[in-house]
Amino acid sequence: MGAVGHHAAGGRVAGAPAASAHPLPPRARAGAVGPGRDAGDVHPPRLRPPVHPGDQRLRVLLAPVCTLPPRPVGWFDGPVDGVTGGAADFERQKRYAAFPAVYNVTGQPALSVPLWWTPEGLPIGTMLVGRPAEETTLLSLAAQLEESRPWAHRHPATW
């Protein structure tokens, strides 16, 4: 488990990073803080999950999955702001799927359900984010949403 996920689960990161045949870049090495140091003490505001476990007011956060409707095949391959190649692809991915990234880092449970569709019949993802270690809340809510708005029978016309 990574340091961030480990901290979100209430654990500690012990020891220095293991030696590697591939040296870490300076930004990555900056995170090595020594034996027994609590990862949350390094950069507390950046490592705390957005839906903090102590915030009892929120059980589930609702957010879009993507910033745009589903994109056509090949959309990620073109230039972005005059840049092509891997950097352009990554930039387009960041712009398109900006919302889920933070939960990949914090390790919070999150899932996507297709509650809406474009006029062409393509699914629009709705992301549900829960508190750390509360996957059952999300799965229960997703099951209730699927019961009220079934989606298993829906397929885009292009299938």
Structure tokens at 41: 């003490």
Segment 45-75, tens digit of pLDDT: 555 555 554 556 788 999 999 998 888 887 8
- Secondary structure E strands in the chain: 60-64, 110-117, 123-130
Question: What's the pLDDT score for residue 115?
Answer: 92
- If you count them, how many residues does the chain have? 159
pLDDT of residue 6: 37
Could you state, in order of their start, the residue ranges of all structural domains in the chain? 1-48
For the stretch 100-125, pLDDT in tens is 988 888 888 999 999 999 888 889 99
- Give the per-residue pLDDT at 7: 37
CB 100 within 8 A of CB 119: no
